[in-house]
Amino acid sequence: MTFLMTQSRRLFLVSRQNWWLAVMLLALHGGLGWGITSWWAKALLLTHFGLFLLWQPVWQREGQLSTRQGVMVLAVGIILAGWSNWWLMAFWLSMLTALIAGNVPGVKRHGERYASLLAAIYLLAVLLLWVVPHLFEDQQFSPAGLAALRFGLPIPVLAIFFFRPDPLPTRSQGVDMFYSLLMFLLLVSLVLGSFVIKQTSQGDYLFALAQTLLAVAGLLILASWLWDPRGGFSGIGQVLSRYLLSVGLPFEQWMHSMANLADRESNSEKFLLMAAHEMIALPWLAGVRWAGPEGDGSVGEDSPHPAEFEFHRLKLTLYSRQRLAPGLLLHMKLLARLLADFHEAKRRERQERENAYTQAIYETGSRLAHDVKNLLQSLTSLCSAVETSEPEDAEDMRALMQRQLPQITQRLQMTLDKLAAPGKARSPMGSLTDWWAGLKRRGAEDFVEFTEALLPQQVTIPVEVFDGVADNLLQNALEKRKAEPRLGIRVSLSWSGGKTRFTVCDDGTAIPEVVAGRLFVGPVPSSNGLGIGLYQVASLASQYGYRLGLSSNANGQVCFELSQV
């Protein structure tokens, strides 16, 4: 119930923000327009101050004041109501005008912006046309002038009531102290300048005010030229921009700190925790909280002034020690964005390591699977030969077993070695002529045509590479023959210029371009498994200085070639 009452009160106060402003200014006008010495004028000034506390954008209206803030509020109320002094009124109006006008650039809603502009115009007019003239003992007002000031000045205030309040109030953005301070100093210069010129010249106040306005305008023109000069130097604008970019935050030091943390720490959560500790070292930051896909955490302590940001699914809440102006709010957003970007980079780096590990497991498993498949095909061929042999073929079968079984045993041992130590296993070197003779014997029963050029006896090759390439290419060609029964398969081997060239061709249909473009760069899904084995053996061949590619891809001429680079 208390929560609902608090929220209802906050909704009423914020949605009627313009009305509170207008009523506050009307009470101020009643307390100033007929003098400040009477008891009812002091009562109106005290009412004005109470309405100011309901309207003010400095503290949260739904919150509770601390003891120090309460004492300060009580002291200001007593001074306004008990000390009848036009200098005090000039100071109060200057501060109030700066508070309203300095916050206009940050107001997004049109109704609130126009109301603030009208309030600033009224306060400036009352300050220069009513309060400052009362600082001079000899200043006299005509009856017409008094009537015009007393009943004409409140017209902008009455116009504020006609601005429709926003139906959905937004959260107060606080006060831009930088703009407000500049506006306050400008008003003080205008008031004091007018007073000094009037007292020294003993002339008319309006003439002194005009002189002061011209002097201030000249200084503003000079400052605007110095802000962005054309004389070849940087100007005040760039100097002030560099200063504002480092307000409360040494930007270069922060970037250097984040870069060092990124180099030292690879774990994203530890990096986030260490970066948060670096952030709360800033004097205006009390604590940091975060919530993301990998968990939540916090550093420091909470405060009544949080600022929430969300980047890359990481929600950051930064707690400041005081209400933030737009300049520091921009710094906090930049801090949060940098921290989230670094954190996301660490997460992606870890995911890439995990993906690389998974890819290595997949490639090793695929290569071993193909080795086992090729061994199984060789054993199947031997079993088929044994089953179809006659008793009189016993001697030939024994010779076949003597040739094939040692090779199968050797290839099986190589497969087991790769499984035990995949990164250390190396392909044994063997004679090119011996390997070619064994391949022709294995493929003789599959009606494969073998041709070779003159092969030197001393040439050696990596047996595992050539076995893998030959087994995969021949198996793919035999699978293709099932769909095209009259498919002819030709295998050739040549050696020239110190380089070996091994080619497997068929006279069937061409491989589709979409499949051909990815045969050797990644797995290619297919009904007969075409592509995965070629990707594996192509990667293995490149480790030994060989290149496997598609040398011809046309109907009637489909050729794969393994050659030395």
Q: Which residue has the higher pLDDT, 91 or 138?
A: 91
- What confidence score (pLDDT) does residue 403 get? 67
- 557 & 463 share domain: yes
pLDDT > 60? residue 11: no
Instruction: State which residues form the domain around 257.
Output: 244-357
- 312 & 461 share domain: no
pLDDT > 60? residue 169: no
pLDDT > 90? residue 506: yes
Average pLDDT of the residues in 194-219: 88
CA–centroid distance for 445 within its chain: 63
Instruction: Kindly report which listed range (124-133, 213-222, 343-352, 478-487) carries the lowest average pLDDT score.
Output: 343-352
- 257 & 344 share domain: yes
Residue appearing with tokens 């002819």: 488
pLDDT > 80? residue 116: yes
- What confidence score (pLDDT) does residue 560 get? 93
Instruction: Kindly report which listed range (125-139, 225-239, 475-489) carries the lowest average pLDDT score.
Output: 225-239
pLDDT > 60? residue 5: no
Measured CA distances, 271 to 255, 257, 315, 342, 350 (Å): 14, 11, 16, 9, 13
Q: Could you say which of 315, 336, 357 is where a domain stops?
A: 357
Q: Which residue has the higher pLDDT, 354 or 182?
A: 182
Q: Which residue has the higher pLDDT, 196 or 372?
A: 196
Q: Which band of pLDDT confidence, cut at 50, 70 and 90, is reported for residue 526?
A: low
CA–centroid distance for 216 within its chain: 45
Look at residue 227 and tell me if it is in a domain: no
- What confidence score (pLDDT) does residue 3 get? 41
- 346 & 443 share domain: no
Residue appearing with tokens 């589709």: 512
What percent of the chain clears pLDDT 70, i.e. is strictly above it? 76
Average pLDDT of the residues in 14-36: 80
pLDDT > 80? residue 415: no
Q: Which band of pLDDT confidence, cut at 50, 70 and 90, is reported for residue 166?
A: low
CB 350 within 8 A of CB 266: yes
Q: Could you say which of 203, 218, 234 is where a domain stops?
A: 203
- 260 & 325 share domain: yes
Look at residue 395 and tell me if it is in a domain: no
pLDDT digits (tens, 9 = 90+) for 467-497: 888 888 888 888 888 888 888 999 999 888 7
pLDDT > 60? residue 232: no
| Neighbour tally for 327: CB within 10 Å | 15
CATH number at residue 469: 3.30.565.10
Average pLDDT of the residues in 438-463: 81
pLDDT > 90? residue 427: no
- 186 & 250 share domain: no
pLDDT > 80? residue 176: no
Instruction: Kindly report which listed range (167-171, 201-205, 350-354) carries the lowest average pLDDT score.
Output: 167-171
- What confidence score (pLDDT) does residue 22 get? 87
Instruction: Kindly report which listed range (326-330, 367-371, 542-546, 559-563) carries the lowest average pLDDT score.
Output: 367-371
- What confidence score (pLDDT) does residue 36 get? 82
- What confidence score (pLDDT) does residue 507 get? 92
How far apart CA 123 and CA 542 sit, in angstroms, is 82
pLDDT > 50? residue 2: no
- 154 & 273 share domain: no
- What confidence score (pLDDT) does residue 15 get? 44
Q: Could you say which of 323, 357, 391 is where a domain stops?
A: 357
Look at residue 188 and tell me if it is in a domain: yes
- What confidence score (pLDDT) does residue 558 get? 92
- 130 & 42 share domain: yes
pLDDT > 90? residue 276: no
Residue appearing with tokens 């739904």: 62
Measured CA distances, 241 to 13, 221, 246, 253 (Å): 37, 19, 9, 17
Q: Which band of pLDDT confidence, cut at 50, 70 and 90, is reported for residue 287?
A: confident
Q: What are phi and psi of 460, to 5 degrees?
A: -115, 155
Q: What is the mean pLDDT of the chain?
A: 77
- 259 & 185 share domain: no
- What confidence score (pLDDT) does residue 332 get? 77
- What confidence score (pLDDT) does residue 418 get? 62
- According to DSSP, the residues that pair with 317 across neighbouring strands are 289, 308
Look at residue 183 and tell me if it is in a domain: yes
- 249 & 199 share domain: no
Q: What are phi and psi of 297, to 5 degrees?
A: -175, 170
| Neighbour tally for 89: CB within 10 Å | 24
- What confidence score (pLDDT) does residue 20 get? 81
How far apart CA 522 and CA 16 sit, in angstroms, is 66
For residue 248, what is the enclosing H or E element? Answer: none
- 89 & 190 share domain: yes
Count how many domains the chain has.
3
The pTM assigned to this predicted structure is: 0.46
CB 522 within 8 A of CB 537: no
Q: Which residue has the higher pLDDT, 250 or 73?
A: 73
pLDDT digits (tens, 9 = 90+) for 379-410: 776 777 677 777 777 777 777 677 677 767 77
